[in-house]
Chain A
């Protein structure tokens, strides 16, 4: 059996186990945590876009939230104007984000480091504000209302009553699994190795015959597709609009990526769970202290900032790297 097919089987098994675990959680959790877990899966896909782009290929983007917005708006327009079902709208969203990634990638191929970070930051600020500029199309500040709708009849006949949050989680799960399977495979493939070569030494990669610009563009396109997918799922929670995809969303995803481990799929999952559940964990942990609203509202941001600083200083590889390191020592 070739090494590639061995990786493929392993990745398939992991993806199936991942699906089974999340499905188990979708039955066991209360509706609030079902909703939170579905957001964590959406962020998992979004952070995977950063793992591919920054972790694997070394290109910095501060604008993944903007690509999420592209996906969200494309789907909303498809649903509201063309009457698409959410499934076709999701496909449309990914396609639109791939196109946006292609355009962004062409520009990004000429840039690197802080210049690329700056450019993507501007895009993160600019794209959501287009909704206001062309408000008759994109709904202005308020945006466009879409949602997952009600669970399909076949699901309720199979599982009994399915709550809205549970349906949201179950509808998100296949896409998170696909994203996991695809990322696992591509990172273990020849393509993934070429991306890492690009990240580790661009000159050496070029001398080895790699087409640097084309590779950079390709990574941007794939990464954008992931971001667009995360964006449409995030928008399907109720609304697509500028205040759904603010610049802080891009930074939140980046925070999750760094905390979890920017070069690791496990890190993406840990980071997503951390940024989504951190406020709940803080609320739970600080329950006996009952801090005032003025303190409680800022605690999650403050603690994640402290964790971010500690991670960068003490454990730049993130939690996943730390776990892997510990395991290898044993």
Chain B
């Protein structure tokens, strides 16, 4: 009977837990509640754990200017440690406890895949997901409420792949990628661009998340032994840092390193190497010359009006423990900026369906700091379809190769890579886009 008594006590304990409000869709006359999931702790968190603070900083700025038609934005954030089991629980918490109106900016492919079906089944907008996995966005019938915050890995890889093929036709090119949909998508994009790789010789991989504990020496040794002259890294920033520093230790000096945009944040790169005793000067030297791509201005571009405005808002409103200005902060600010633009665009009568419909029908009009247009439409929920290619200088700033920024565009299929003439609209005076 002790068991029954225990269950009874547990019953009382559980029913004593804080009650949640009745079916509140997360929007009221005074507030809009948004929810986000990301690794704030754990091996995958470095760098990405700054995105939420940057978003909150921008929303606090908008709130200080009166919010969205008088509604203040509240961002609820849950740490999933990049473990899908926790992602499921924390999504339930955001949906049922915090009663979020929409998800926004959630980080991670393998974690978000565990909840994307449920979020869509419930009709909750899933805005600007920080994953470039094309499977989330290219078939809106599958996930009608999910929209990307990044260009897909396929688009970026096709653009960079074509550049490498055209610029270095005689060089031996290899790839180091993580074995998840991020890595596989990138590999597919490079292959579509015409690059060819040989498994375990010029194409090596590792299990995502193991780079910290297992290192990447064997993979880099294989590339070195096979005479790879240009190494592409399709992995997170912590893996890039470990790969480049490990190669230096092995005496492996490929002609060029090429890193996908999500893996090439300079601050994260230097922070991770700094934790291993590498001085900033040395890590800046390792980063210098690395080729990468971006859909946005480089955070180091001191004359870009969006960079200047967002940097000031970050200084004034970001209350996070690490508010150092970098790609992650810029990305967080831009997601919050885009969300503000969309929320204003829907109008005063804010509904979940209305928000999704607005984004689908006005994708090209939503304001963004990116140098690429947004592709949102009824046929695709991809974000950015254009990238420019640059190289890091000695001051850890990504700058256009040869000094001139050329924007390339393509799709996530087999379409060609072409030059884009897109010109980004000017920033509104108060750095708040009020919809189309």
Residues in chain A within 8 A of chain B (CB atoms)? 14, 17-18, 21-22, 24-25, 28-33, 35-37, 39, 129, 132, 135, 140-143, 145, 147, 164-165, 180, 234, 237-239, 241, 243-246, 248-249, 265-266, 269-270, 273, 277, 280-281, 284, 287, 292-294, 297-298, 320, 323-324, 327
Q: Is the CB of A142 within 8 A of B117?
A: no
Known contacts being A142-B109, A297-B40, is A18 close to B321, with CB within 8 Å? no
B10 to chain A, nearest CB (A): 5
Tell me which residues across on chain B come within 8 A of A129, comparing CB atoms.
207
Say whether A277 contacts B14, CB under 8 Å: yes
Most buried by B among A142, A292, A320, A323: A142
Q: Which positions 173-190 of chain B face chain A at CB distance < 8 Å?
A: 178-181, 184
B39 to chain A, nearest CB (A): 10
With A145-B113, A243-B110 in contact, is A29–B14 under 8 Å at CB?
yes
Contact mask for chain B residues 1-30; partner A; CB cutoff 8 A; 1 contact, 0 none = 111101110110111011110000000000
- Closest Cβ of chain A to B408, distance in Å, is 28
Q: How far is the CA of A327 from the CA of B5 in the complex (A)?
A: 12
Which residues from B are CB-within-8-Å of A241? 84, 110, 114
Partner of A284, one of B4, B15, B17: B17
State which residues 68-127 of B face A: CB under 8 Å. 77, 79, 82-85, 88-89, 92-93, 95-97, 109-111, 113-115, 117-118, 121-122
Residues of B within 8 A of A22 (CB): 7
Report 25 cross-chain contacts, Cβ distance below 8 Å, ordered by A residue.
A21-B4, A21-B8, A21-B11, A24-B11, A25-B11, A31-B92, A32-B95, A33-B14, A35-B89, A135-B179, A140-B181, A141-B179, A141-B181, A165-B92, A243-B110, A244-B83, A244-B85, A248-B83, A249-B85, A265-B3, A266-B3, A270-B10, A280-B17, A320-B2, A323-B6
Question: Smallest CB–CB gap between B117 and chain A, Å?
Answer: 6
A232–B30 CA distance with the chains assembled, in angstroms = 43
Cα-based distance from A293 to B121 in the complex (angstroms): 29
A35 nearest CB across to chain B (Å): 4
* A244–B81 alpha-carbon span in the complex (Å): 11
* CB–CB B77/A270 < 8 A: no
Give bound CA distance, A32 to B15, whole Å.
12
* Interface flag for B139 (CB, 8 Å): no
| In the complex, chain B residues whose CB is within 8 Å of the CB of A243 | 82-85, 110-111
B242 shortest CB reach to chain A, Å:
18
Are A143 and B6 neighbours in the complex by a CB distance under 8 Å?
Answer: no
- Tell me whether A29 and B15 are in contact (CB under 8 A): yes
Q: Determine the chain B residues whose CB is within 8 A of the CB of A273 once the complex forms.
A: 10, 13-14
Contact of A31 among B14, B96, B179 (CB under 8 A): B96
Q: Check A297/B41 contact, CB under 8 A, given A21-B11, A32-B92.
A: yes
Q: How far is the CB of B399 from chain A (nearest CB, A)?
A: 34
Q: Are A21 and B7 in contact (CB under 8 A)?
A: yes
A142 touches B17 (CB 8 A): no
**Chain B min CB distance to A12 (Å):** 12
Q: Which of A31, A37, A145, A284 contacts B117 (CB 8 A)?
A: A145
Interface residues of B in 196-232 (CB under 8 A from A): 207-209
Contacts of A21 in B (CB 8 A): 4, 7-8, 11
Complex: A33 Cα to B110 Cα, angstroms: 25
Within 8 A of A (CB), among B117-167: 117-118, 121-122
Chain A residues whose CB sits within 8 angstroms of the CB of B180 once the complex forms: 140-142
Give the CA-CA distance A1 to B115 in the complex, in Å.
53
- Please state if B96 and A292 are interface contacts (CB–CB under 8 Å): no
- In the complex, the answer to whether A238 meets B88 with C-beta atoms within 8 Å is yes
Q: Looking at A21, A25, A145, A241, which has the most chain B CB atoms within 10 Å of its CB?
A: A241
- The answer to whether B3 touches A244, judged by C-beta atoms less than 8 angstroms apart, is no
User: Are A147's CB and B17's CB within 8 A?
Assistant: no
| Besides the known contacts A145-B113, A238-B115, A244-B114, 12 further A-B residue pairs in the complex with CB atoms under 8 A apart | A14-B3, A24-B11, A32-B93, A37-B14, A141-B208, A165-B96, A238-B88, A239-B84, A248-B83, A249-B85, A265-B3, A324-B2
Write out the residue numbers on chain B whose beta carbons fall within 8 Å of the beta carbon of A280: 17
In whole angstroms, how far apart are the Cα atoms of A249 and B115 in the complex? 19
Q: Which residues in A have their C-beta under 8 angstroms from that of B178?
A: 141
Which of A14, A33, A245, A298 lies at the interface centre, i.e. has the most chain B CB atoms within 10 A of its CB? A33
Q: Given A164-B118, A293-B77 in contact, is the A237-B3 Cβ separation under 8 Å? A: no
**A32-B93, A293-B77 as given contacts; A142 in contact with B110, CB under 8 Å:** yes
Complex Cα gap A280–B8 (Å): 19
Asked if residues A292 and B118 are in contact (CB atoms below 8 Å), the reply is no
In the assembled complex, the Cα of A85 lies from the Cα of B40 at a distance in Å of: 37
Closest 5 CB pairs of A and B: A32-B96, A141-B180, A239-B114, A31-B96, A243-B84
A288 to chain B, nearest CB (A): 12
